[in-house]
Structure 1
C-alpha cells in the first residue's frame, strides 16, 4: 500500500500510465507548435482554439484539457517560446549565444527579443497592464534585464541600470505595439533604430 492507501501501480498499469503521460506531453508539444505557427502567420488576436486544435490534429476538447482556456494556451505559448529564447542566448550558437563579442550579442538579442515581443504583444500587453511597477520583476522581464546588464558590463558600462532600462523600453510589448501600429514602423525599421541606440549607449 502507498501512503494514500491505494494499490501501487505494477506491470501493465504502470506502462499504461507512462504511455498516457507521453501522449499528453506529445499533444502539448503539438498544440504549442501549431499555436506558434498560427500566431506567426496572423498574430495571437486572430487565432482560435478550433484552429489550433485542427492544426495540431487533435480535438478541441484536448486543447481545453491541456490549457484550460485560450488565455491559458497563449500564456503557455509565451512561456514555451521564452524558454527557447533564453536557451538561445544562454547556450545557443553565436551571435545570440556565447562566443561572439558582447556588442554583436547585444544586437542579436535585441532582434530576437523584438521578434518574440511582436509575435505575442497582445497577451504580453495584458500582463504588463496588470502588473504596474511589478512589470520589472516579472520573470520574463528580469531575465531580459539581467542579460542586457551583463552584456553592457562586458562593454565597459560600469553602472548599467539606467542604460539597460533605456535599451529594453522599446522592446516591451506596449512600446513595440505603439511603434508598429501608431508610428507605422516596420519590424526592420524598429530594429534598425534600436541598434543605433544600442551602439550609441555601448560607446
Structure 2
C-alpha cells in the first residue's frame, strides 16, 4: 500500500503531527481496552490518558463510535498486509486451497476477537451494517481461480463464500459478547475448513460397470 505524498512546507509538519497524534490515540485506546474493556472508553478519558486536548480528540474521531471505527480500520490494514505479504499459508507461497483455509480461519478469529469493538463502532441510530467484505470477496475469487475448480461461475461462488465467511459474524453484533467466544471461533473456523476442503476435493472418477460387477 502506497502512502500519500507528503508536501513540503508547513503542511508537512502539520501532517506529521497529526500522524503522531493519531498513532498515540490508537495506542492509548488499545491500552484502555486491555485494562478496563470497551465500555470504559470515553472521549474525555482518552484525551486525558493521551495527554492531548479534548478538541484534538473530537476533531480526529468526531464521536465515541468514531474512535472504534478508526481502531478497526487500523487493524484491518494490518490484517490486509498479512494477507498480501505475510508468511504462508495466510500470505503468498502456499497452495491455493491451503490459503483459502488459512484465510477463513484467520478472518473468523480477526472478526470475532474484535466483536466488542465492532459493536462500539456502530451508530446507535443506524441499523447493523452488512460490513465491508471487498477484501474477502476479491481474495477468495483469486484463490478459487488458482485452485482450478470445475465450476460454472467462480465469481458467484466467491460471493457465496464471502457470505458464508462474513455473514455469521454479523449475528454476533446484535447480541452481547459471550464468555465462550474461543469455542465459537474454533467451531466456525473448523466449519469453514470443512466447507473449503469438501468444495475443493477432486471429484471421484466414475466407476463404469460397477453395477454389473456388483451383480
TM-score (norm 2): 0.67
Give the structure with higher Rg (CA): 2
Residue in 2 that maps onto 1:162: 157
Query: 187-196 vs 121-130, which deviates more?
Result: 121-130
How far apart, in 2, do the equivalents of 1:43 and 1:177 lie?
16
Corresponding pairs, count:
184
Contact 1:92 1:98 in 2 (8 A): yes
Q: Which residue, out of 86, 93, 96, partners 2:90?
A: 96
Give me the CA root mean square deviation.
Answer: 3.5
Equivalent residues of 1:44, 1:122 under 8 A apart: no
> Does residue 121 of structure 1 match 2:118?
yes
List gaps (5 residues or longer) in structure 1. 1-9
Q: Which has the higher contact order (CA 8 A, sep 6+)?
A: 2
For residues 20-35 of structure 1, what are the structure 2 equivalents within 5 Å?
20-35=14-29
Report which of the two has the higher share of helix: 1
For residues 128-158 of structure 1, the C-alpha deviation after alignment (integer angstroms, 9 at most, x for no partner) is 9465xxx4xx6x3122111112112222234
**SS at 2:90 equivalent:** coil
* TM-score normalized with structure 1 length: 0.70
Question: Secondary structure at the residue paired with 1:186?
Answer: helix
**1:151 maps to what in 2?**
143
Unaligned runs of 5+ in 2: 1-7, 202-215
Q: Distance in 2 between matches of 1:114 and 1:156?
A: 25
C-alpha separation between the residues in 2 aligned to 1:196 and 1:126?
A: 35
